[in-house]
Amino acid sequence: MKRLSRSFILKNHSFDLIVLGAGSGGLAAAKRAAGYGARVAIIEGDRVGGTCVIRGCVPKKLLVYGSKHVENINNASLFGIELNEVKINPGTLLKNVRKEVDRLNQLHIDLLEKANVNLIRGWGYFTGINSVGVKTSDLSSPIELNAKNILIAVGGRPSRPNIPGASLGWVSDDVFLQKSFPEKVVVIGGGFIACEFSCILNGLGISVKQLVRGGNLLKGFDQEVSLALQKSMIARGIDIRFQTEIVSLDGQVGALRLTDCQGYEYKCGAVIFATGREPFLEGLNLDLIDLKTIKNRIAVDNRHQTNIPHILAVGDVTDKINLTPVAIEEGRICADNLFGKKNRLIDYEFIPKAVFSQPEIAGVGLTEQESLDRYGKNNVSTYKARFRPMSKMLTKSEEKCLLKLVVNSKTEIVLGCHMLGDYSAEIIQMASIAIKMGAKKSDFDQTMALHPTIAEEFVTMQ
C-alpha cells in the first residue's frame, strides 16, 4: 500500500475525490472512481472494511453458522449419525471469526492498492468546503488535503442507552472481541441485531433473556412473520419480555444486575445493548462548512449530494436506507455520475432485507399492513403457506415455515413477498427480481414448482 510521506503531502496533496471512511460505501466509490482514472484518496482511522466486514454482517453471519451446528449435531442421531457428547467452545468460534475478519481486512487493503487508490491512515475532518485535515498516527501534526469532490462515508456506530451504568454493558462491536461468553446473557432491544444475537447465543447453549421496550419484535417487517419468529424463538428457550424498559445497570461483567422501570431486577453475566445505531459524525467539523443535517443524519438528494453539491454522502450517515448493499450501490452511483458522465439514481422501492435469526426471516416489497395503508382493505389480497419443512420431519421440532404473498387484487401485481424458514434470505433474494419487475400473481402460478423445496410453495399458493 502506498505510504504517506512528507514529500507526498507537500507536492501531491490535491485529488479529484477524497473519501472519508473505508467501509462498504466508501470502498465501492473509491475503487469505481479510480477505475475512471480519477485521482482518489480514502481516509480511514480504523480498520479498512467498515462495520459490515469488521464488526457487523460478516462476523455475525459466521457466528450464526457456528451456532446452528449445535442443533444439527443434536439431531444427527435421528438421521443415523452417531456422535459422542457435544461440547461447545464459543472461544474457538470467536477466535476463528476474528481470524477471518483479519484476512478480509487485508484483502480490502490489497484491493485498494490494486485499484491505485491512496489509503491514508488517520481521522479526517473538514477544514473548508474543498479541504480535509487528517490526524495521522505517523506524523506529529495534522496534514491538509484538497479535492474537487468529497464523499462522506464514515458509517455509524452502536448507541448506548442514557442510563446509569450503561458503560458496563456490551454493544454489538464488543461481542466479537470476547474470548468466551458467560452462562447467562441479557439482550436489550427488539430489532434485527437483538434478535440475531439472542438466537446466536441461544444456539451456543447460553441462557438468554431478551428485554424489549415495545410490544413486538422487528418494526418494519411483516407483523405476521415477526410474530411467527417470536413464537419460534420462545419455543427454542429464549425468554422474551415486552414492555420492559431498563433504568440502570450495576455490578461488573460476570456479575451484573439490571433494574427495569417496575423495579424488577435481572442478574446475568453480560448485557448486550442492541438499541440502535447512530451516524459517526463526531469530529467531522460539519458546522464549519454549514453542512445540513436532519436528526443527526446528513441530508442528501437523489444523487447523494448534500446542500454543498460537490460534497456527497452515502451509507449510514445519510437519511436514506442504511443497509450494506445499499451503501455499496450508492457509492458506485456517486463515482459513475461524477467521473463516468452517467446519470444514475438508486431505486429504494424494492430492497430485500433479512434477519439471520433462527429460523431466518426475509422480505421484499410492501408488508401486508403497508399495502392496506396504501391501497385499502378492498384492494389487497394475501396468500399464505404454513407448514413443517422436511428438514424438521425426523426431529421433535414443531417449527413451521411461513410463506406469504401480498397482492394488489385489482391489478394482480405482487406487492410483497415475505418468509420465515430455512434459507429465507436466499429465496427472497431471487424473488426480489420478480417483484421488482412487476410480476403478477398469475406469473407465480404459471411458474413450474421445483419439488421438494420450501420455495415451491410460492408458486403453488391458492
Question: Which residues, listed in sequence order, are joined to residue 14 by a DSSP beta bridge?
Answer: 146
C-alpha 278/C-alpha 9 separation (Å) is 33
Active site residue 108: no
Which one is catalytic: 13, 69, 310, 451? 451
* Amino acid (1-letter code) at residue 459: V
Residue with cell string 448507541? 159
Pairing, β 170-171 against β 270-273: parallel
C-alpha grid cell, residue 419 = 418468509
- Beta-bridged to residue 384, according to DSSP, are 404
CB crowding 283-316: b at 16 or more within 10 Å, else e: ebbbeebebebeeebbbbeebbbbeeeebbbbbb
Task: Point out the residues that are catalytic.
Answer: 451
